[in-house]
Structure 1
Amino acid sequence: MLDRRQLAHQYIAGEWRDGRSSRVYQNLNPFDGSLVAEIRLASIEDIDEAYRAAAEAQTVWAQVNPFERQAVMEKALRIWEGYRDDIIQLVADEIGGTYIKAAIEFELVKNFLREAATYPLRMEGRLLPATIPGKENRLLRLPAGVVGILSPFNFPMCLSMRALAPAVACGNGVVLKPHEEAALTGGTLLAKVFEEAGVPRGLVNIVVADVQEIGDAFLEHPIPRIISFTGSTAVGRHIAEVAGRHLKRVTLELGGNSALIVLEDADLDLAVDAAVFSRFTHQGQICMCANRVIAVKDVYDAFLEKFVDRVSKLKVGDPRDPQTVIGPLINRRQVDRLIQVVEASIEQGARAAYRGPVDGNVVGPVVLADVREDMACARDEMFGPVVAVMKVEDEDEAVRVANNSDYGLTGAVITRDVERGLRVAMRVETGMFHVNDGTVNDEPLVAFGGEKASGVGRYNGEWGLEEFTTLKWISIQRERRQYPI
């Protein structure tokens, strides 16, 4: 059983302890406001200690036999599976995740751990031809060193582990800064799993800190070679700028304004199922969620009627109830921001085809119909259970509208003609796209990432292996070289 009192600490240099900040963060349940944990925050000095511990442990870990590293990763997977019930409950209490959401996220983390366990045996080298007689060229794949990870509150276990597991498996040290509102699920829980799995002390470090106090110290520290960030595009731009000044590599998975296209030949029941899943999973607090549903005029009215009917029946409320589909948003700021977007869109001419009530941090689902491209709900990423439904003339206009966004994370199309769906997929400017499915998909073997303002780099599979390693060329001159001078 997980000891939440232990998890309510920093994990630095292999020790569970308080941070050195004078500030104590109260981690509150977003549904009922109850106290989940009190955490004394980390200071700049704590961050420095964490990075130095990671660097020292990494030199030891990188020399461990790859089969032993694989065994540690496999043990971490077994430990994770053993905590399932505790984890499901913790997701509900800390971030308001429903049972459905927590179960999905739990399985995603299992998949990431399972795939990462293969990485130690895939750190392969190559022998390459040489233009110079007697030369042997060796290309080695090596750990990058130390990785700094920043993760968000919405899918904290998944989005932390997606970087943490491959980074560790590849032989790196890690300092992870989770969002303070997901400090346990996105941070110390994962440290507990790796501690029990037997990684060297100091290899994995968790610092829970307020950016207002630490500034850019996490990014500017000289030790980390790579910064991995998942979160908003605005923050991602800043991280990229700071990292660039210090010549650090970055992997950025940022915001989205994904579109789900419903063509005139669509199976409307499938379209409704896909749209409900794509928009309302975890209250719409997923970067892959379908912000916009774009329906061709021939099926617009029929789709909207079926969609509203289905949305109106979604169970809203306590995330601890297994039947609940829509629980609370993470905090009141997110609620207020979402309501402002809804009101602004209605003032611009959108029609509220369905609008659920607001109770504390729980926002009932909202379906905005007759949405135009210039409306707030079509332009902005809405991190909540609100969806913009748009009518277009035909397939060409649907593609144009889908591409009319700064973002390019994911998308989907519903059509009975698979080849037509593939053509649409090729025309929409995103890093990922799905035919006859929803926009929310993540696979451990498939490259995950976006285009445009949705990010830089790719996670998962062989691409995750590349992101957290570096290449080194070593040449061996086996016979006397004749130099030109």
Structure 2
Amino acid sequence: MTLLDGQVWTSDIYVDGWRPGRGEPWQVREPATGNIIGRVGTATTEDVAEAAAKAAKAQHAWQNTPYDERAAVLRRAGDLWNVHSGEVQEWLIREAGSIGPKAGLETHIAAQECFEAAALPSHPMGDVLPSTEPRWSMARRRPVGVVSVIAPFNFPLILSIRSVAPALALGNAVLLKPDPRTAVCGGVTLMRVFEEAGLPPGLLQMLPGGADIGQALVTTPEVRVVSFTGSTAAGQAVGELAGKHLKRAHLELGGNNALIVLPGADLERATSAGAFGSFMHQGQICMTTGRHLVHESMHDAYVEALASTASHLPVGDPHRGEVALGPIIDEKQVARIHRIVKSTVEAGARLAAGGTFEGPFYRPTVLAQMEPSMPAYTEEVFGPVAPVVPFSSHEEAIGLARRSEYGLSLGILGDVGTAMEIADSVPSGIVHINEQTVADEANVPFGGVGASGTGSRFGGPTANIEAFTETQWLTARPQIAPYPF
């Protein structure tokens, strides 16, 4: 039997084992062809309530499991991502529309996330504090209990595992809601890997579904922390609901990231970086380069080179051939991308490349003669669109980069000293000098500011321990303290 043998999970959710959900099964479609390639179960709010109760019950024993045993489960899970990488990548290509290298990146990082998480249980979990009283005083980190993880479609494996792995490693149980469009990549694969790794039953439950399930995962009483990755609008709704119910919400949201090309930067390398930043995975990445800010001395040559690159990139079905761009996830998103491109051209921009599509395949698009008020500049497109805007001074570049409600990732190409000065002046959770805007590693803190989220809440021991544990003040005396009553 393979890891993802459909006989195990077809039409099922996971609540202490594989069983049919109370909702209607979801047809898994291949975005490149529209073909049905599987069927997953969907949950109801009743399923969520059952899963949350069982998770809370299982969590008590898990948090008291010796730390080395918890670590061993995570290490085995990391090994399994490597053992089954080919099978998982096949699903990432077909279900998520990933090109081969992007699918390979996801399984590689999934393994690394588990290996990094395996080190968390042995980290120091508190501090000894001074006290004015004759007692021992300490602050210690304790598991929060049950964590809800709500993950999106674009990097379904990475954006699930980066919360699931550390939350489990630190002694919590997890309720996982993958996007139904990628419920196999972002849900079934995790369940199967952790089953095979020996995770005790009840600690990871999988509940695909729509907005009602997301709402239930926030409001169910057993959940104390919500880890959400998705759009800014959806994140605002999650944050509001979590606040109302006194839950902590870690929100990693949208981005409209700037790539600043300084005078004197190597044109060929800058163009290559810009193309990768805007067109990788069809631009369906929160860190995608959404705005190219190019010094006026290089602007025209940059537009020409970027447009030439875009016009030569192959677009098609990544399951049937080697391409640079695969399909957009669904028709609704294709329509949204095209609306933004058309309205930007109607507002006066020049279409230097692309702007067309066939079915789910949108051509990589370059827009020139842009104004900062145009839709493709102000909105997160979430598609393969590269708007290019000139600047004349470093101060103007800073002003243009800051002219966004988002603050996720910033790339600066050229002189490092100048780049450092610009980096100090632009609010952003991530800054890459002489790299484009799309990058992530399992051991680094990740997150944005402003409309991009609530700061670095994923990755690295400090961020993960803060995200998935609570601080408890504990004191102890040799004898009962005397009181005046």
TM-score (norm 1): 0.96
Q: What's the CA shift string for 1:294-353, capped at 9, x where partnerless?
A: 101011011112211222211110112563110100000000010000000000011000
Q: In the alignment, which residue of structure 2 is the partner of 1:159?
A: 159
Deviations 1:176-231 (A, max 9, x none): 000000101011110110111111111100001122x5472221110100001000
Deviation at 1:144, TM superposition (A): 0.7
After superposition, the Cα gap between the structure-2 partners of 1:87 and 1:369, relative to the gap in structure 1 and judged at 3 Å, is: same
Contact 1:41–1:209 (Cα < 8 Å) also in 2? yes
TM alignment of 1:258-407, pairs within 5 A = 258-321=257-320, 323-355=322-354, 357-407=356-406
1:391-470 paired onto structure 2 within 5 Å? 391-415=390-414, 417-457=415-455, 458-462=457-461, 463-470=463-470
Q: Distance in 1 between the 2:9 and 2:184 partners?
A: 6
1:18 is aligned, of 8, 20, 33, to 20
User: Is the partner of 1:442 in helix, strand or coil?
Assistant: coil
Q: What is the SS of the residue equivalent to 1:353?
A: strand
Structure 2 residues not aligned, in runs of 5+ = none
Instruction: For 1:9 and 1:145, locate their aligned partners in 2 and report how far apart those are by CA, in whole Å.
Output: 29
Q: Evaluate the alpha carbon distance shift between residue 322 and residue 102 of structure 1 in structure 2; reply closer, same or farther with a 3 A threshold.
A: farther
- The runs of at least 4 consecutive aligned structure 1 residues that moved more than 4 Å come to 479-485
Q: What letter matches 1:13 in structure 2?
A: V
Aligned partners of 2:110 and 2:157 also within 8 Å? yes
Confirm or deny: 8 A CA contact 1:123 1:142 kept in the other structure. Answer: no
8 Å contact kept, 2:303–2:366: no
1:54 alignment counterpart: 55
Q: Which deviations, in whole Å up to 9, do the C-alpha atoms of 1:335-386 show, x marking residues without a partner? A: 0010000000000011000116411101111101111110000011011111
- Kept in 1, the 8 Å contact 2:150–2:214? The answer is no
**Per-residue CA distance 1:157-190 (angstroms, 9 max, x = gap):** 0000010000000000000000000101011110
Does the 8 A contact of 1:30 with 1:95 survive in 2? Answer: yes
2-side partners of 1:292 and 1:145: how far apart? 41
Distance in 2 between residues matched to 1:30 and 1:215, nearest whole Å: 23
Matched residue type, 1:58 = Q
Asked if the contact 2:307–2:365 (Cα under 8 Å) also holds between the matched residues in 1, the reply is: no
Tell me what 2:478 maps to.
Answer: 478
> Are 2:257 and 2:410, in contact at CA under 8 Å, matched by a contact in 1?
yes
Distance 2:15 2:22 in 1: 14
* SS in structure 1 of the partner of residue 297 of structure 2: helix
Shift of 1:27: 1.5
Going from structure 1 to structure 2, the CA distance change for 1:61 and 1:11 (only over 3 Å counts) comes to: farther
Measured in 2, the distance between the counterparts of 1:321 and 1:426 equals 45
Secondary structure in 2 aligned to 1:92?
A: helix
Counterpart contact for 2:28–2:39, Cα < 8 Å: yes
Letter matched to residue 332 of structure 2? R
Deviates more, 1:40-49 or 1:175-184: 40-49
Q: Helix, strand or coil: the match of 1:90?
A: helix
Comparing 88-97 with 101-110, greater Cα deviation is found at: 101-110
How far off is 1:9 after superposition?
4.0
Cα deviation, 1:449-473, whole Å, max 9, x if unaligned, reads 0000100142100211210111111
Partners of 2:119 and 2:363 in 1: CA distance: 42
Structure 1 residues 215 and 325: alpha-carbon distance in aligned structure 2, compared to 1, 3 A threshold: closer
Aligned to 2:237: 238
Q: Secondary structure at the match of 1:41?
A: coil
SS in structure 1 opposite 2:313? coil
Partner of 2:45: 44
SS in structure 1 of the partner of residue 366 of structure 2 = strand
Residue 175 of structure 1 pairs with residue 168 of structure 2:
no
Q: Which amino acid in the other structure matches residue 125 of structure 1?
A: G
Distance 1:156 1:394 in 2: 40
Local SS of the residue matching 2:314 = coil
1:107-140 CA distances to partner (integer Å, 9 max, x unpaired)?
22122111111011115232111111x2110221
TM-aligned CA distance change 1:179 to 1:169, over 3 Å: same
SS in 2 for 1:367: strand
Name the structure 2 match of 1:248.
247
Q: For residues 101 and 453 of structure 2, what CA distance do their matches in structure 1 show?
A: 27
5+ residue gaps, structure 1, are none
Q: 1:53 Cα shift?
A: 1.3
State the distance in 2 between where 1:40 and 1:13 align. 11
Give a deviation string over 1:387-439, Cα, whole Å, max 9, x none: 11111112111111111001000010001x21211111111111111000010
Percent identity of equivalent pairs: 39
1:226-245 per-position Cα deviation (integer Å, ceiling 9, x unaligned): 00100000010000010001
Q: Is the 8 A contact 2:32 2:317 kept in 1?
A: yes
Q: Which moved more, 1:316-325 or 1:396-405?
A: 316-325
Structure 1 residues 119 and 461: alpha-carbon distance in aligned structure 2, compared to 1, 3 A threshold: same
Calculate the TM-score normalised by the size of structure 2.
0.96
Secondary structure of the structure 1 residue equivalent to 2:157: helix
User: 2-side partners of 1:58 and 1:484: how far apart?
Assistant: 41
Aligned to 1:226: 225
Closer/same/farther in 2, CA of residues 131 and 314 from structure 1, 3 Å limit: same
Kindly indicate whether residue 30 of structure 2 is the aligned counterpart of residue 32 of structure 1: no
Partner residue, 1:121: 122
How has the CA–CA distance of structure 1 residues 245 and 273 changed in structure 2, closer, same or farther, with 3 Å as cutoff? same
CA contact 1:12–1:49 (8 Å) conserved in 2 = no
